[in-house]
């Protein structure tokens, strides 16, 4: 019998034998065959013959034009099975200690994977001190630094934290792995995605990261404008001009220009919020005082969904954000030298200029992203 025929036969017997269900896997062809089990409990895992299927990301046209292809960790290539598993995990409240909170509870698809609270609330009702961050286009975060202060390197490492964080899901990895392991569907999905290896924090975070890399937002009005599919209004165009103008609103140094569809440099700056810092941001991570008060530049995409704004959610509206940059910048030792007008309080925009700048910022809204999940 040739190899393919024997694999097919194994799968066929596997399916037949596992159909009688009930304490341990009694199927000798399954990867988790338990020789001492007398009664089959339906937990047998039968590998698909072909192994996981490579996943192709759908990359928006503006990204193809301006950005390099995303780079994935060599030990976590994207697969159809891995992404499906990551999605199930992302929405699963069993990943928290009292079963009430999933990743998606604070990263809601309808809010561009952000929440609407100033501070997210963890399982014990305890609020943190930072505003949740939206999740999209992270496959292109080439610095690989995540969180407002950049303390996690890579999405896999990032996903380790919320599970054990006492003000988030507050569980232990051993406990979460055993809850996942107790579910036969998960066991099959893990084996299909990663082969026959124990389910642990390493595999769970790999699957979550694969799913997060599929969250891509690249279909805003401004993207369609760049593709010559729509026109901008005079107000939106004027707003874009101000955004790009060093003697206007001067935003592009940190948030990117039309050749950067991420609308962030993914770097860390002090954008003039405070004279001294209760939350030192990057400074707490590096221990270097020159980094005090620096936080990761957020993307300007999807602002309509991501209020309130800044690392501590201090601004409820975009108008408050624009008032900050226009009139209320605060001097401090680490303020970014790119904020050249701090001595004047800011870039001093007229009410009409603020309205135009806001109209431009709202052209970066991608409603297909929030409705597509």
Residue 107 binds ligand HEC, judged by CB under 6 A: yes
User: What is the DSSP annotation of 159-198?
Assistant: HHHHHH-TTTT---HHHHHHHHHT-HHHHHHHHHHH-S--
Residue 101 binds ligand HEC, judged by CB under 6 A: yes
Residue 358: helix, strand or coil by DSSP? helix
Instruction: Tell me the sheet residues that pair with 268.
Output: 296
Q: At 60, give phi and psi (nearest 5°).
A: -60, 155
Return the structure tokens found at 90: 């992302």
Nearer to ligand HEC, 201 or 367 (CB): 201
Residue 273 binds ligand HEC, judged by CB under 6 A: yes
Whole-number minimum distance, CB 371 to ligand HEC, in Å? Answer: 20
d(CA 224, CA 90): 30
d(CA 155, CA 138): 8
- The interface region with ligand HEC, picked from 14-22, 24-32, 170-178, 295-303 by CB under 6 A, is 295-303
d(CA 125, CA 200): 27
For ligand HEC, the binding residue among 17, 44, 46, 135 (CB under 6 A) is 135
For ligand HEC, the binding residue among 78, 85, 177, 249 (CB under 6 A) is 249
For 279, residues 6+ apart whose C-beta sits below 8 A from its C-beta are 129, 130, 311, 312
d(CA 117, CA 302): 16
- The interface region with ligand HEC, picked from 13-21, 47-55, 190-198, 247-255 by CB under 6 A, is 247-255
Helix axes 351-362, 318-327, angle to 10 degrees: 130
Nearer to ligand HEC, 148 or 222 (CB): 148
For ligand HEC, the binding residue among 52, 109, 239, 298 (CB under 6 A) is 298
What does the buried/exposed string (b/e) look like for 163-188 if buried means 16 or more CB atoms within 10 Å of the residue's CB? bbeebbbbbeeeebbebbeebbebbb
- The interface region with ligand HEC, picked from 73-81, 120-128, 190-198, 219-227 by CB under 6 A, is 120-128
Whole-number minimum distance, CB 349 to ligand HEC, in Å? Answer: 8
Whole-number minimum distance, CB 228 to ligand HEC, in Å? Answer: 25
Whole-number minimum distance, CB 299 to ligand HEC, in Å? Answer: 7
Whole-number minimum distance, CB 135 to ligand HEC, in Å? Answer: 5
Instruction: Tell me the sheet residues that pair with 54.
Output: 79
- The interface region with ligand HEC, picked from 18-26, 40-48, 54-62, 140-148 by CB under 6 A, is 140-148
Helix axes 201-213, 155-164, angle to 10 degrees: 120
Residue 254 binds ligand HEC, judged by CB under 6 A: yes
User: What is the DSSP annotation of 209-230?
Assistant: HHHHHT------HHHHHHTTSS
Q: Residue 260, exposed/middle/buried by CB under 10 A (0-12, 13-18, 19+)? A: middle
Binding to ligand HEC (CB under 6 A) within 185-244 occurs at: 208, 212
Indicate the helix (H) or strand (E) that contains 146: strand 145-146
Binding to ligand HEC (CB under 6 A) within 307-336 occurs at: 309-311, 321, 325, 336
Nearer to ligand HEC, 81 or 212 (CB): 212
Whole-number minimum distance, CB 1 to ligand HEC, in Å? Answer: 45
The site map against ligand HEC for 148-187 (x = CB under 6 A) is xx-----x--xx--xx----xx------------------
- The interface region with ligand HEC, picked from 15-23, 56-64, 102-110, 232-240 by CB under 6 A, is 102-110
Task: Quote the Cα angle for 158-163-164, to 5°.
Answer: 100
Query: Contact residues for ligand HEC (CB under 6 A)?
Result: 95, 101, 103, 105-107, 120, 122, 128, 130, 132-133, 135, 146-149, 155, 158-159, 162-163, 168-169, 208, 212, 249, 251, 253-255, 269, 271, 273, 295, 297-298, 300, 303, 306, 309-311, 321, 325, 336, 338-339, 347, 357
């Amino acid at each position: 019998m040739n190899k393919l025929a024997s694999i097919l036969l194994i799968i066929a017997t596997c399916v037949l034998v596992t159909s009688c269900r009930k304490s341990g896997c009694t199927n000798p062809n399954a990867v988790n065959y338990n020789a001492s089990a007398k009664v089959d409990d339906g937990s047998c895992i039968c590998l698909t013959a072909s192994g996981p299927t490579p996943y192709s990301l759908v990359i928006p046209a503006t990204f193809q034009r301006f950005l390099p292809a995303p780079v994935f960790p060599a030990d976590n290539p994207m697969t159809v099975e891995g992404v499906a598993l990551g999605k199930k995990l992302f929405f699963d409240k069993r990943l928290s200690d009292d079963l009430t909170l999933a990743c998606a509870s604070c990263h809601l698809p309808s809010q561009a994977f952000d929440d609407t609270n100033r501070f997210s609330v963890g399982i014990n009702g305890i609020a943190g001190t930072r505003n949740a961050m939206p999740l999209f286009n992270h496959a292109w975060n080439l610095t690989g630094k995540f969180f407002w202060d950049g303390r996690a390197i890579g999405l896999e490492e990032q996903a380790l934290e919320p599970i054990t964080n006492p003000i988030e899901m507050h569980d232990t990895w051993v406990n979460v792995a055993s809850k996942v392991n107790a579910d036969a569907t998960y066991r099959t999905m893990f084996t299909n995605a990663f082969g026959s290896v124990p389910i642990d924090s390493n595999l769970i975070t790999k699957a979550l990261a694969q799913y997060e890399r599929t969250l891509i937002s690249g279909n805003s009005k401004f993207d369609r404008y760049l593709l010559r599919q729509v026109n901008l209004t005079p107000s939106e165009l004027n707003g874009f001009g101000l955004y790009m103008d060093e003697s206007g609103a001067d935003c592009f140094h940190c948030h990117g220009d039309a050749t950067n569809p991420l609308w962030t440099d993914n770097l860390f700056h002090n954008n003039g919020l405070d004279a001294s810092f209760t939350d030192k941001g990057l400074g707490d991570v590096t221990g270097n005082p020159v980094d005090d008060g620096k936080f990761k530049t957020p993307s300007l995409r999807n602002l309509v969904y991501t209020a309130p704004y800044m690392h501590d959610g201090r601004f409820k509206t975009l108008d408050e954000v624009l008032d900050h940059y226009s009139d209320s910048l605060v001097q401090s030792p680490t303020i970014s030298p790119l904020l050249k007008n701090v001595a004047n309080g800011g870039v001093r925009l007229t009410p009409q200029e603020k309205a135009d700048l806001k109209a431009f910022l709202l052209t970066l809204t991608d409603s297909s992203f929030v409705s597509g999940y």
